[in-house]
Amino acid sequence: MCPLLPAEGVDMDIDAEREASRTDSNEENVDPGGGETTTIGSPAPVEPGHRLMNCAGDTTGQETTRVTASGGGGPTACPPASQSEPAFHSETPCVNAKPRASSGLPVDDLWNFCEIYSADGEFMNPCEVLGERVWTSPTFDASSETFRDLLASWHGEWAQIDLSAHGVSLSALAEFKSSTEAIGAEVPLVTKWAHRWAMLFRDDANVTDLVRSVSLGAGWAFDADAVTMAGENYVKEGFEHKVDKLHDEEHKWQSVFDALAFLRPKYHMIKVDIKGAYRHLPIALQYLPYHTYTWGELVADLRFPFGHRAVPGKFHEVTAALIRFMRAQGFSATVGFLDDFWVCTMLETVPRGALEALRLLQDVLEFLGLEVAWEKCEGPVQDVIFLGVRLCTNECGEGRVSASLPVHKCERLRDTTLRLAHGGWCTRRDLERLMGQQAFASRLVRGLSLFCGSGHALLRSKGKWIRARADFVFVAECLMLYNGQHALLMRRVLKPSHFSVDASTGTGMGGFLDGRYFAVSWMELLALPQEAFYPFRDRASSQINYLELFSVFSALNLWGHLLQGLTVVLITDNTPTKGMLEKWRCTPDFRLLLRRIFKQCVQFDIRLVVEWVPSKQNHFADALSRKEMRLFFELHKEWKAESLWRKDKDDWKLFAEVFENLDRRFGPFSVDTCCDAFGANRQTLVCWMVKQDCTKQDWAGHTAWCNPPFSRILSILLHFLACKRRQNVGTSACFVIPVWPTADFYKFIVARPSVFIPVERFEAETDLFLAPDCEGGDKKFYGPTRWPVVVYRVPPCFVQLD
């Protein structure tokens, strides 16, 4: 819990107050300003700005304090609140136990070491002014440049929100009163959402210790009629708009799907949650009129309430700083969304493991005064639910990495979908809730969202219930399949020329997969047991576009089990087929067949990447569809005798064991920046392919892996350093560089030894790379390198750049 420092005008010494609060019970603290006194009835340490409120009104054995707006005095002791008047307390400290950081010092003391401001209120870097008051921690260095970045972001939020002070004094209240009187009745002193938030704390005793409010005392004018539609619009366009504009840059929100890039087989994960995160952000004095409400008396809320649309953007800055800090400490696989944090690493590794990551994150949060919700923390584990998605690094004990919907969520979503599909009616709110749940599930079942469009159209009153009902039944059927719950993350890619299909109107259809093939005439197909989606049922199912799509179904039906868990590049010479398989949308005549193909892909966890080629280049499948077997065998013989050497410098891949060693030491890497057109040579889940161009991507915040094409190394290095300048802490990369002393890129690297640090060197004639294989659809080893290769690393900590 982070304390509030008193505002200018408060006649109370913080250090003296803290020392006094640690003495024996019944010691009186006298306000030096001549005001009334407050009795502290416990020797427990006092946390400034932290009050414990019993929402039921039972304050037996506990005294509360309230700031008065008149009398010129300090805090006064008050009797326990009654049932009819819930107690809202001031920023005056009251009795409460406080957590302790790993150093053994109370969190207040650690925080105040960093809570240093100059006389004019400007924030000063605590690492430069602490002097002899040095605080050390066994888990992190409070004087490091990385920690300065974290503190600057944290204090930046305080400086931008609370522009005048960290507390509320009597003079500040007087200023507040005069300012509200000057504003007049057009600005409401009561808002409905603030009152609803206050009622929340009356009903929920678990979060009452985070209430931070102050009574404004008697004699304040208040008119309930001031809450008008115009007034609420003023609040929305005034206060929230100003707070949103404090940061002009767009927030880069992270989600659970950012964590998928860091999952590695048999790694361990930890999860940490912050309790009442938003309630640690203070409200600036000039915005207090918009956070004032009545509950037996006029009360001003000093902290951001939950549900305010300006809060996530502000607290995100603190979250992003914590992520940068953790990555700079060596935990690159750190993901955070507001008050939820997740880290993936090995259980025991050099230099730091999962247990140390858990301890470090909890210590830093407590150092900043952010309370950890211990009941929600988990780890180190290999199976965890983070932000509603189950992440597993050792599926079935086989080391498979997967992401899935929790079983109970999947079953509940499936039952709800079927109930709405067969029920005949539902409320608009039920339909909205269902569409939101299906949209979340579609992130794990690729393409599922395309079948949710009818539900959204129904919400807009532009769709038909009959079509929505059919779509709901289909979605429920997909959720029953294996990939409706699980999705394997690391996938091998089959390259072009290894999987192709074709159909001929008058003859038949054919397909080719890595040396396997089939050729079926339409007469042979008609002799087989027929299903509702088979061709030649009517005129529409006899068209060439339908026949081409049916050939895809036949190929997946025959070879689907061989392609399980793969991304498959499918070659076709039919443009409508390509469009339907990419968008999963079609006319009603094709819908039944297309959905059967989609269910095949879901069942076997296959992802199709469809490439169109002219008919003359679709040699194998075209010959098979026309039953020209002699031509096919000649082409197949030439294909097998084709040279295996590929002179494609962009498509070389480092040996898996070499990459895994570097990934354990300096990763996990979040993105593979230089991949071919289909991602066949990628090493990580997330990759930037040729068409995406890594020199046009933002590397800031990434732990990147880069095996660049030789012709573009210098331009890639320059672009990376530009991104590193924008976000120095938390941005890192490893580059695979050939030792060519006369090359410009090598001279550039050698001239910056403090930036590019060599971490691994492979001498000439070392077996390192795999190249494309024409025969097997995968990579093949073609011999050792002809020159030395060095892996250079730019660390995630602060680096002095030119």
* CATH class name, domain 493-641: alpha beta
CB 705 within 8 A of CB 667: yes
Is pLDDT above 60 for 469?
yes
What percent of the chain shows pLDDT beyond 70? 55
Number of other residues whose CB lies within 10 A of the CB of residue 274: 23
Mean pLDDT of 564-586: 83
Does residue 794 or residue 202 have the better pLDDT?
Answer: 794
The kind and range of the H/E element at 480 are helix 465-480
Does residue 684 or residue 43 have the better pLDDT?
Answer: 684
Is pLDDT above 70 for 739?
yes
pLDDT of residue 14: 33
339-382, pLDDT tens digit by residue?
Answer: 899 988 876 654 467 888 888 888 888 777 778 888 888 878 88
Lowest mean pLDDT among 227-241, 280-294, 731-745: 227-241
The kind and range of the H/E element at 610 are strand 607-612
The token duo for 676 is 């071919």
Q: Which residues of 200-233 are buried (b: 16+ CB within 10 A; e: fewer)?
A: ebeeeeeebbbbbbbbbbeebeeeeeebeeebee
Contacts of 647 (CB under 8 A, 6+ apart): none
pLDDT of residue 284: 61
Mean pLDDT of 76-92: 31
pLDDT of residue 166: 31
Lowest mean pLDDT among 150-159, 175-184, 261-270, 358-367: 175-184
CB 288 within 8 A of CB 167: no
- Tell me which DSSP letter residue 239 carries: I
Does residue 72 or residue 593 have the better pLDDT?
Answer: 593
When mean pLDDT is compared over 185-194, 547-556, 709-718, the highest value belongs to: 547-556
pLDDT of residue 470: 76
Is pLDDT above 50 for 88?
no
Does residue 554 or residue 451 have the better pLDDT?
Answer: 554
pLDDT of residue 426: 72
pLDDT of residue 643: 41
Is pLDDT above 80 for 487?
no
| pLDDT tier at 297, thresholds 50, 70, 90 | low
Mean pLDDT of 175-181: 44
Mean pLDDT of 787-797: 88
Lowest mean pLDDT among 64-73, 605-614, 627-636: 64-73
What percent of the chain shows pLDDT beyond 90? 2
pLDDT of residue 734: 92
Mean pLDDT of 13-41: 36
Peptide bond into 753 cis (omega under 30): no
430-465, pLDDT tens digit by residue?
Answer: 888 888 888 777 777 666 766 776 777 777 765 566
Number of other residues whose CB lies within 10 A of the CB of residue 709: 15
Lowest mean pLDDT among 202-206, 289-293, 511-515, 781-785: 202-206
Is pLDDT above 70 for 118?
no
634-655, pLDDT tens digit by residue?
Answer: 887 777 655 443 444 445 667 7
**Three-state SS across 658-680?**
HHHHHHHHHCCCCEECCCCCCCC
Contacts of 18 (CB under 8 A, 6+ apart): 45, 46, 48, 108, 109
Q: Is there a common fold for 493-641 and 649-794?
A: no
Q: Which residues of 776-785 are buried (b: 16+ CB within 10 A; e: fewer)?
A: ebbbeeeeeb
Does residue 135 or residue 539 have the better pLDDT?
Answer: 539
Is pLDDT above 60 for 694?
yes
- Distances in Å between the alpha carbon of 485 and those of 312, 390, 406, 407, 797? 30, 9, 8, 8, 38
Lowest mean pLDDT among 13-22, 429-438, 628-637: 13-22
Q: Give me the sheet containing 653-654, strands edge to edge.
A: 653-654, 769-772, 779-781
pLDDT of residue 792: 92
Does residue 479 or residue 93 have the better pLDDT?
Answer: 479
| pLDDT tier at 73, thresholds 50, 70, 90 | very low
pLDDT of residue 223: 30
- Tell me which DSSP letter residue 288 carries: G
Share the mean pLDDT of the chain: 65
pLDDT of residue 383: 86
Using only the alpha carbons of the chain, give its radius of gyration: 32
Mean pLDDT of 596-606: 82
CB 163 within 8 A of CB 342: no
Written as one letter, the residue type at 608 is L
pLDDT of residue 370: 79
pLDDT of residue 465: 64
382-437, pLDDT tens digit by residue?
Answer: 888 888 888 888 877 777 777 878 878 888 888 888 887 777 667 778 888 888 88
Lowest mean pLDDT among 133-142, 165-174, 466-475, 772-781: 165-174
* CATH class name, domain 649-794: alpha beta
Domain spans in the chain, listed from the N-terminal domain onward: 407-484, 493-641, 649-794
338 CB-side CA count, 13 A: 15
